[in-house]
Structure 1
Amino acid sequence: MTQADMTPEALDAIRSDFIEKVGLIAQTDGLPRIAGRVMALLIFDGDVVSFGDIADQLQVSRGSISSATRLLEDRGLIKRVGKPGQRQDFFRLADNPYENMLNAVAANLDRARAEIDETLVQLPESTPEIWDRVQAYAQFYEEMGQAVIRSIENLKSGRSGT
């Protein structure tokens, strides 16, 4: 089915499904489900959306939207914008939100590796078998961090080519 053939109802169903899917993904990643739903709404629609419209469209309380938007802003995923003559806040997807997500993942992996490295320094030389296992675990985090850094570079180069 092409976009031209798609009914507004069919597109609305796809949109609703996407919003719910991203909410569940966010929840699996330890974020509030509503934060994922807000993010999905902004991704799918691609518009600047008012605080009130987000609450209405997602059918959740303003308090939930306030908490979710603050969390997403703090993570560099959405941006709060104002409109002249409007008293309420508006939100849009941040510039480079996926790069920001990956930077947070890289920082978390680096912190984990550093914590494991502290244990390696403390291990006595008389425990090489333990050191090897702990070192392999640290190496896992190092490799994951390098993979995420490569992904960030790929995102940057993909963006610069457009």
Structure 2
Amino acid sequence: MTALYRIFDAEDRLLYVGISGYPVTRLDAHRRGAPWRAEIARHAVEEFPTRQQAAFAESEAINIERPRYNKQGRRTEPQSVTLARQETVERNKIAAREGLARCREELAATEERFQLSLVNARKAGLSLRELASLSGRSTETVRKAIRINGDSRTRVEREVLA
């Protein structure tokens, strides 16, 4: 068990928030050595099953309740906001990866359709140079696309006709 403790002054203003596995010992250390020890009037202790949970609660308390003497751990925003922002970033990364995968699949399908269009245009009588010019690709790239897809298309056509 780890405890989150809060130290208050006589007017119930929060002076300090901390965590410790031995809160009584830690509170005694504050009473003996803290520069603000004369202001201590009371304390409250809250137990947590893990140190990680206590540390999270401490960070939240420091950032939301703003104790007067805590120097470390103070951020410009509560940890819950930071964690929510990190979760959003991770969700966005996952969505972006999924979107890229879909685009890659669509691009592959589009490329295949484009290559088949090259085959059909070649069969219709367009020269390799004309196809290269129209497609913005090199003559060699067009030749390869036609050879790959043309052979495949011919094999499929033969299977259908057989």
Q: TM-score, normalised by structure 1?
A: 0.30
* Higher helix residue share: 1
Larger-Rg structure = 2
Higher normalized contact order (CA 8 Å, seq sep 6+, divided by chain length): 2
* Higher strand residue share: 2
